[in-house]
Structure 1
């Protein structure tokens, strides 16, 4: 049984929990609690050394075998106690994975079925293919199930792989994602470097230790997502710093002096129009992407080599006022050499139009951008979605243009260059490079109707959930008033 089959079997267990009213996201979090114990159990079977490490990390009374031998209410009570105790563990990793953990499973028979089903899977095959890849498959499955939820922080893997390949991280460089999500960018960067160094066996022990413990870091705001990131990193053998918190607050001030930044910051504005609370951002705005953009280019080493690839929505390219000031600052401090205009339909909302900015921090803070090359992968592209997913083959033309020794010799109508002076005349707008295609029928570029229907359903579900919260709050107020009378 391969990892894909195991992922499908694990995902099918979610049907068991439908009657408990558990969402996909809750299920994945619950799976993380349970899978951590099972995967540590599997790692402990490999060698005496691993067994000692597992025994050191997890108290004996809360290991996997303690769950397998119990049933019914006794199992449920033990599991609840396990979550509580591991969340208070002296071991930092355990404490972070199980911080504030509680179960969403109300029926003991459902918990029992999940544990027995997981125990019966072919873990020998899973270990051979890689437990990290298995978990990554679960994260991807979760994102594809509900774009309005998990997909918000799940960047398509083909896009991540292309960004990593073109940024080309090197051994010994410090890489970071300030909006880490499930840590996908850093996992891909680690995998990229492992493929070039025989899983780091070509490196000396000090270099290998740096790659494992210091090379990859990140910060994530959402607690459950941070939990998934920790688990993902652990299963891929990465022990770097993954902080839980807001990168746009003063807690994120440690994010600086990086060689490489790869990220897809969250879209939208701060709630209530709040500004970022970090006091070292030059320009004040409530626009999260603009705040992340200035955070990113200022967090790169000013050595002429530090570089970033960042996913941003279209409004970052053309928003006036503070937006223009931030773009001007970016082009002064960095060489913004390439913009990739991405096709629609690859993220959680069909209508969201996005781009990737590729830039290198200069040694000085003025005049680093001379010209900007733009590749239009949006115009006259097939409708992409769940039934026609984005693949790395879609990027072949862009990769060829990006890596060309002489970009001016590339014969591709999607590939165009704009001088810094031309951009200045447009008010420093970067909404450039989209090619005209009058032959394109308006009907050919309509979104996938099934994707659109799923998106509409998701929005209605969110609205209903919000209304239910309002009703619950009103009922609570009424009850308080009755009690006070």
Structure 2
């Protein structure tokens, strides 16, 4: 009921606005969650703890950001997750704990989520079902699981600011996850590299953007952040959400990318759990093509024979993932489409099938720029040098520009504690010449090569900077020996893996 203030004026009660959570508060909540998980005997290390936290966090965020928002907009909205499996029925009930709670999660909740389905395109039930197909509760204590859920339940998603702050915190957790994953042979693209690739792709609203090897979603998130302020209507917002597309084969990265995109504001991410190479061969019609591909495909590995066999009719007889992905990306682009892709040095100078794929690349596309990254950008996981290839499907290449990013002055390499910084791309970005690449000039870091010369070399793109002499003469014997030891250790490691695989086949 309205009341009067001390001056006799009518006072209207205004509901208190939810207090915005600070980054420090969210980081503290995540620390509490991790401390709880460390006590449980079923979890070993961050490779167990992050998935456990992520699927609980996903359900909490989905309840607030999707279910409640849609219910507020549409009185006839039918929740995707029905009671007693909705968050209010189990996640928000602090008294529901112990063995009874543990049994409910293991034998009722997770099987229910796996069984969700709908014939309607874009229905979140299908997304949830796909996410939870290989998700399991690894915690053994129902009490600790309840404590963990309580921490997540106290995290607010009531405002866009809360969601953006939580997204930042989650990104920091993913970075730690990537560090842990690198130790087991998976490498993730450093954020400065992603940001540079996205910015030099000059994205526009309405473009369809695909990462066929999206991992935890670094490229997709960066592309979305680049465009998210541009829509002027809900229809354009919906189109942007649909145009941010990804494929991911493995269950854990798939869960993480879905969580990552949800926190960044895409309530039904357009990411498919699939083998991208199979998917792209099956969907070869023009309507499946996209405007932009941004990706760092797996390299150094081999695909299954059944997957590689799908490419033989196209004249690509190989199991090497890098070549299969590059070939597939060229096919996936619309006429006029553009791509930024990470490839290792081996792909640049490789012959045989590799030369065929590069010949196709330069015949059908304008390979306008190759950015040569400093050695060790992916350190400490690998010292294999990497390159960024930028091309457009606008007809044959006439000339290709190369730009060499140097190591910072006084540095011998990168590490976990001293990774590559975005500022190291500043000179290259200034030299780039905007979307039209106008006014480029050769300098001590940049040079161009005619397409005919590249063709004459057997499509070798591993070209040294002609403006700098052999830098081996300027390096200390100790540095050269250390680099040789690292290289030998990598080779021995790969040989060990090969031996183990051969032993497993016998």
With the shorter chain as reference, the TM-score category is 0.7 to 0.9
Selected match of 1:211 from 228, 240, 245: 240
Contact 2:303 2:321 in 1 (8 A): no
The yes-or-no answer on 1:104 pairing with 2:138 is yes
Which string of whole-angstrom CA distances, capped at 9 and with x for unpartnered residues, describes residues 333-391 of structure 1?
A: 111010011123332623121111000112x5xxx111111111256773112111222
Which residue does the alignment assign to 1:161?
195
Contact 1:384 1:447 in 2 (8 A): no
Q: CA deviation at 1:48?
A: 5.4
Which residue does the alignment assign to 2:372?
341
Q: CA deviation at 1:165?
A: 0.6
- 1:329-368 to structure 2, matched below 5 A, reads 329-347=360-378, 349-362=381-394, 364=395, 368=396
**Shift in CA distance, 93/315, structure 1 to aligned 2, threshold 3 Å:** same
Q: 122-131 or 215-224, which moves further after superposition?
A: 122-131
What secondary structure sits across from 1:20 in the alignment?
coil
Which string of whole-angstrom CA distances, capped at 9 and with x for unpartnered residues, describes residues 121-159 of structure 1?
A: 46568625344444333322311344234852x311111
Contact 2:375 2:385 in 1 (8 A): yes
Selected match of 2:415 from 356, 361, 385: 385
What secondary structure sits across from 2:447 in the alignment?
strand
- How far, CA to CA, are the matches of 2:399 and 2:25 in structure 1? 48
The yes-or-no answer on 1:49 pairing with 2:80 is no
The yes-or-no answer on 1:370 pairing with 2:402 is no
Which residue does the alignment assign to 1:61?
84
RMSD across aligned positions (CA): 3.4
What secondary structure sits across from 2:464 in the alignment?
coil
Q: CA deviation at 1:235?
A: 2.8
The yes-or-no answer on 1:324 pairing with 2:351 is no
- How far, CA to CA, are the matches of 1:216 and 1:48 in structure 2? 25
Which residue does the alignment assign to 1:262?
294
Which residue does the alignment assign to 1:234?
262
Q: CA deviation at 1:415?
A: 1.0
**Shift in CA distance, 285/357, structure 1 to aligned 2, threshold 3 Å:** same
The yes-or-no answer on 1:95 pairing with 2:123 is no
- How far, CA to CA, are the matches of 2:481 and 2:256 in structure 1? 34
**Shift in CA distance, 50/130, structure 1 to aligned 2, threshold 3 Å:** farther
Q: CA deviation at 1:240?
A: 5.1
Contact 1:274 1:286 in 2 (8 A): no
Contact 1:310 1:357 in 2 (8 A): yes
Q: CA deviation at 1:11?
A: 5.3
Which residue does the alignment assign to 2:55?
33
Q: CA deviation at 1:218?
A: 1.7
Which residue does the alignment assign to 2:10?
none
Which residue does the alignment assign to 2:272?
243
**Shift in CA distance, 131/234, structure 1 to aligned 2, threshold 3 Å:** same
The yes-or-no answer on 1:283 pairing with 2:316 is yes
- How far, CA to CA, are the matches of 1:7 and 1:345 in structure 2? 30
Contact 1:339 1:375 in 2 (8 A): yes
- How far, CA to CA, are the matches of 1:220 and 1:23 in structure 2? 23
**Shift in CA distance, 369/32, structure 1 to aligned 2, threshold 3 Å:** same
**Shift in CA distance, 107/131, structure 1 to aligned 2, threshold 3 Å:** same
The yes-or-no answer on 1:194 pairing with 2:223 is no
Which string of whole-angstrom CA distances, capped at 9 and with x for unpartnered residues, describes residues 67-109 of structure 1?
A: 3421111121111121111111132122122123211212323
What secondary structure sits across from 2:400 in the alignment?
strand
What secondary structure sits across from 1:259 in the alignment?
strand
What secondary structure sits across from 1:262 in the alignment?
strand
Which residue does the alignment assign to 2:151?
117
- How far, CA to CA, are the matches of 2:384 and 2:260 in structure 1? 27
Which residue does the alignment assign to 1:140?
175
Q: CA deviation at 1:6?
A: 2.6
Structure with the greater alpha carbon radius of gyration: 2
The yes-or-no answer on 1:75 pairing with 2:92 is no
Q: 131-140 or 280-289, which moves further after superposition?
A: 131-140
Which residue does the alignment assign to 2:113?
86
Which residue does the alignment assign to 2:17?
none
Contact 1:307 1:361 in 2 (8 A): yes
Q: CA deviation at 1:327?
A: 0.9
Q: CA deviation at 1:228?
A: 2.0
Which string of whole-angstrom CA distances, capped at 9 and with x for unpartnered residues, describes residues 392-413 of structure 1?
A: 1011111112226544435x41
Contact 1:380 1:445 in 2 (8 A): no
- How far, CA to CA, are the matches of 1:96 and 1:159 in structure 2? 30
The number of residues matched between the two structures is 447
Contact 2:280 2:328 in 1 (8 A): no
TM-score, reference length from structure 2: 0.78
**Which runs of 5 or more structure 1 residues have no equivalent in the other structure?**
471-485
Selected match of 1:415 from 421, 442, 446: 446
Selected match of 2:328 from 295, 308, 314: 295
**Shift in CA distance, 123/172, structure 1 to aligned 2, threshold 3 Å:** closer
Contact 2:47 2:180 in 1 (8 A): no
